[in-house]
Amino acid sequence: MMVKMSVFLRRIKNTEHHWKVLAVLAVAVILILPHSTNIGHLLILMANAYALIAFSAMLNRSSTKNSWVYHGIVLLVNSVAAYWVFRSIYGFVSAAGLTYVIVIAYITATTWGNFTGSKLSIFFEKKLGVKTRWKEKGEPHSKEEKRVKLALLVILGVLCVAILIVTRSNYIAAISVFGLSFLNTGIHTFVRRSRNVGNTLFHNVGLLCQGLNFFLLFRFLAAEDMSWIFFLPFAMGGILGGLFAQKFTMWAERKIKADPDSHLNPEEIKGRSRFPIDISLFPWKILSGLFVITAIIIFISESSGLVATIIGLATAQYIAFTVISRARPRMNRSYEAYASMASNGTWLAMFGKLNQQGWEAVLFMPYIIGVMIGGNLGIGIAKHIERRFQIPSD
């Protein structure tokens, strides 16, 4: 018996760290399930959340790679899944609110989903020969990539015809959803790539546009009660927006010779820091201005507590979003596991809070400020972690 226990403990000790994190989360969910008022609904929410983040992890990685064809297929699957899951979460949170049971279950499902999506993406990337670094002009595509390209073009053609048929009773609203989804996914792709190459100007322009568009898109969909009429325009807009943004950012990165791993080379560090965290990795001029604006907004607001809460949640959300966005295409799954737990928990808290407040227009500016602060802080934090543990892009 003692020998078996010793072997069991040795196996646990030798297990990769991210598997230990996933196992602890799974045990936590098993323990809290009896405390749920509706276990069936909670399990459905977990399944939806698992699927959403699995596809999101694949999308995150594909958007930082050099193949628009692979990215297009992932965009297609993600856009189809995203609307279904967002609608499910919207209904669940609206009815049940945010409880500790829901939060723990959601974080567990999404962390497992993130791990699954990353593993699947790595598998397909190897099959297709897809890399992180941008392609040189005229670089040839593999045979597998050409086949995927043909399948993608056929599917997009079918989607266009289906959209015209399904939305014929409300073309104007459908075009609005298409446009907002196009911008939402396109900006997300732009921001993901700008985070990974560490270009401050690209990143901040993207953050500002991302916060604005996310708020407007889900405010519009919430007002329409996430109607199924807008499912296909949402999907099509997301696919085309992501493809356009990826092509544009690859072109821009090639022009500026962007390098996602320059901060890992000590010779590239402009100034040494006496602090445990190298403060030169943070864009302090931008952050200083944002902190001043934050203080002014909170001071002049009639609902200072609510405004401060929205700024705080948005800041936490985008610190976590930035770190997980950089962690997914890098060679350390434990780094990704911890980043995933933080990003998914903060997203649910932020979405839930805005939903409870009815996506009021007065919350728009506090949300944008939080997005900008969080995105800039997240870049510095992620770079410090990657330098400290020498985690390069894969």
Q: Which sequence spans correspond to the domains of the chain?
A: 16-389
| pLDDT of 97 higher than 70 | no
Among 1, 106, 126, 129, which residue's Cα sits nearest to residue 53?
106
pLDDT at position 315:
92
Say if residue 340's pLDDT is above 70. Answer: yes
What value does the mean pLDDT take over residues 224-241?
78
pTM over 0.85: no
Phi-psi region of 129 (alpha: psi -120 to 50; beta: other; left: phi over 0): left
Rounded alpha-carbon distances, angstroms, from residue 363 to 24, 190, 306, 336, 354: 36, 25, 9, 31, 8
Which pLDDT band, with edges at 50, 70 and 90, does 337 fall under? Answer: confident
The band of 392, judged by pLDDT with boundaries at 50, 70 and 90, is: confident
Report whether pLDDT(78) > 60.
yes
Give me the helices (H) in the chain, please: 2-14, 17-32, 39-63, 68-96, 100-128, 143-166, 171-197, 200-223, 231-256, 284-300, 304-327, 333-356, 364-389
Residues 49 and 87 sit within 8 Å (Cβ to Cβ):
no
The C-alpha torsion from 325 through 114 and 388 to 323, rounded to 10°, is: 30
Residue 86 and residue 269 in contact, taking contact as beta carbons nearer than 8 Å: no
pLDDT of residue 180 exceeding 80 = yes
Q: Is the pLDDT at 313 greater than 80, yes or no?
A: yes
The answer, yes or no, to whether residue 4 has pLDDT greater than 50, is no
Quote the tokens at residue 24. 């602890």
Mean pLDDT computed over 337-344: 75
**Of residues 353 and 259, more confidently modeled:** 353
Q: For the residues 37-63, what does the mean pLDDT come to?
A: 79
Q: In whole angstroms, give the CA distance from residue 337 to residue 359.
A: 31
pLDDT of residue 3: 46
